[in-house]
């Protein structure tokens, strides 16, 4: 029984898609947690955010999303995709994929609200679509071997 469990854990760990899902969950906690901490610093309780101004919400969201993006880059680079590339281009590609995914998320959310009236349902649908887009983008573009420099840049 223990050996079967160990085999399952190793099999899951070796699956890049599972590692990507793990990092996504971790990133959600980090990004959302950072945003909530910003609200607390501004003097708002976690459930009393009705009087937050546009700019307070804007900055809390920007800070949370930025911290989440850095967290996501580091975990995906070293844990999910195990990239050894050392270049600013990789960071730019990663941010580019994040920006596209964010735009698609925003657009699909606006569209989905028109057809699906249940917030939870359209949020889940949009999240799943964006998760696939993000995985493909990071797998092929951000950390794809095709785009990595072939020379050693560590010197």
pLDDT at 117 over 60: yes
Q: State the average pLDDT over residues 122-134.
A: 93
Residues counted in the chain: 155
* pLDDT, tens digit (0-9, with 9 covering 90-100), for 72-96: 999 999 999 999 999 999 999 999 9
Mean pLDDT (the chain) is: 88
pLDDT for position 47 = 67
Contact 62, 56 (CB under 8 A): no
Q: What share of the chain is helix, strand, coil (3-state, %, to 5)?
A: 75, 0, 25
Q: State the average pLDDT over residues 10-28.
A: 94
Least confident of 46-50, 122-126, 146-150, 151-155: 151-155
């Amino acid at each position: 029984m223990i050996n079967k469990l160990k085999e399952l854990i190793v099999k899951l760990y070796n699956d890049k898609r599972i590692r990507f899902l793990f990092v996504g969950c971790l990133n959600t906690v980090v990004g959302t947690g950072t945003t909530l901490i910003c609200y607390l610093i501004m003097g708002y309780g976690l459930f009393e955010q009705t009087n937050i101004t546009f700019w307070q919400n804007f900055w809390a969201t920007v800070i949370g999303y930025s911290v989440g993006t850095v967290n996501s880059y580091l975990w995906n680079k070293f844990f999910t995709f195990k990239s050894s590339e050392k270049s600013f281009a990789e960071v730019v590609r990663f941010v580019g994929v994040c920006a596209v995914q964010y735009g698609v998320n925003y657009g699909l959310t606006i569209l989905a609200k028109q057809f699906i009236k249940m917030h939870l349902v359209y949020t889940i649908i949009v999240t799943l679509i964006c998760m696939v887009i993000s995985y493909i983008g990071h797998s092929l573009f951000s950390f794809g071997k095709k785009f990595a420099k072939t020379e050693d840049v560590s010197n």
